[in-house]
């Protein structure tokens, strides 16, 4: 349709783009640098179909803190993630300063890491629902129905297996 009338109204009112608002009116709003250049590929909660839990920061907000799994609560917060086009998985609870990291770890658990390292990029296979570190395609994020402190579930990086329970995830906005 014809939007020329709306464009003239915006010019007459001297409307600014949203980026101007963020930069000048609300500068404390943090937009991840990687997301300024690349639009998000996925966002929301990362839900493991089986055993039925979500990736969760479990209260952690510091580098090297473990990232785990917890019953999905739909409130985002500790379960809010943003995956950029370049594969970084930002943790919203850390003001997008930390990302899901793949290690190296002695216990096969993902951790919070600085977002500036390309080695912390991931690939998400939409058809299979698998999330793998870019540097190790043979490993998959795996949710397990095993109790750990703070959660009835566990989250590990384990060898990818076709149709493995706990290795199929969906993004839920």
Q: Mean of the pLDDT values across residues 12-34?
A: 76
Q: Is the preceding peptide bond at 51 cis, omega within 30 degrees of 0? A: yes
- Looking at the domain assignment, is residue 141 inside a domain? yes
Q: Which residues span the domain enclosing 132?
A: 36-172
> In the structure encoding, which two tokens stand for residue 91, read together?
């943790």
Alpha-carbon gap, residue 60 to 57, rounded angstroms: 5
Give the DSSP per-residue string, 84-104.
Answer: ETTS-EEEGGGTT-EEEE---
Residue 104 has pLDDT above 80, yes or no: no
Tokens 């216990």 belong to residue: 107
Q: Which of 22-31, 32-41, 112-121, 159-168 has the lowest mean pLDDT?
A: 32-41
Alpha-carbon gap, residue 141 to 139, rounded angstroms: 7
- Looking at the domain assignment, is residue 161 inside a domain? yes
DSSP-assigned letter for residue 19: H
CA-closest candidate to residue 57, choices 71, 69, 42, 44: 69
CATH number for the domain including 43? 2.80.10.50
pLDDT in tens, 119-154: 689 999 999 999 999 888 899 999 999 999 999 999
- Looking at the domain assignment, is residue 48 inside a domain? yes
CA quadruple 115, 117, 118, 123: dihedral, nearest 10: -40
Residue 72 has pLDDT above 90, yes or no: yes
Residue 163 has pLDDT above 90, yes or no: no
Alpha-carbon gap, residue 170 to 124, rounded angstroms: 10
- Looking at the domain assignment, is residue 23 inside a domain? no
Q: Residues 99-109, buried b or exposed e (16+ Cβ, 10 A)?
A: bbbbbeeeebb
- Looking at the domain assignment, is residue 52 inside a domain? yes
Alpha-carbon gap, residue 85 to 134, rounded angstroms: 13
- Looking at the domain assignment, is residue 19 inside a domain? no
**Number of folded domains that form the chain:** 1
- Model confidence, pTM: 0.80
- Looking at the domain assignment, is residue 30 inside a domain? no
Helix, strand or coil, per DSSP, at residue 102? coil
Band of the pLDDT at 32, cuts 50, 70, 90?
low
- Looking at the domain assignment, is residue 80 inside a domain? yes
- Which residue would you say has higher pLDDT here, 26 or 130? 130
pLDDT at 34: 56
């Amino acid at each position: 349709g014809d939007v020329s009338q709306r464009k003239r109204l915006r010019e007459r009112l001297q409307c600014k783009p949203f980026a101007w608002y963020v930069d000048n009116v609300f500068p404390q709003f943090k937009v991840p640098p990687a997301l300024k250049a690349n639009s998000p590929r996925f966002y929301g909660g990362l839900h493991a179909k089986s055993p039925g839990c979500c990736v969760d920061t479990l209260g952690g907000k510091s580098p090297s803190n473990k990232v785990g799994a917890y019953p999905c609560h739909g409130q985002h917060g500790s379960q809010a993630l943003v995956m950029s086009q370049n594969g970084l998985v930002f943790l919203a609870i850390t003001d997008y300063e930390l990302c899901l990291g793949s290690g190296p770890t002695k216990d096969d658990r993902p951790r919070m890491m600085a977002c500036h390292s390309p080695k912390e990029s991931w690939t998400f296979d939409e058809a299979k629902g698998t999330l793998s570190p870019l540097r190790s395609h043979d490993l998959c994020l795996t949710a397990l129905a095993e109790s750990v402190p703070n959660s009835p579930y566990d989250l590990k990086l384990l060898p990818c297996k076709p149709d493995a329970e706990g290795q199929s995830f969906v993004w839920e906005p």
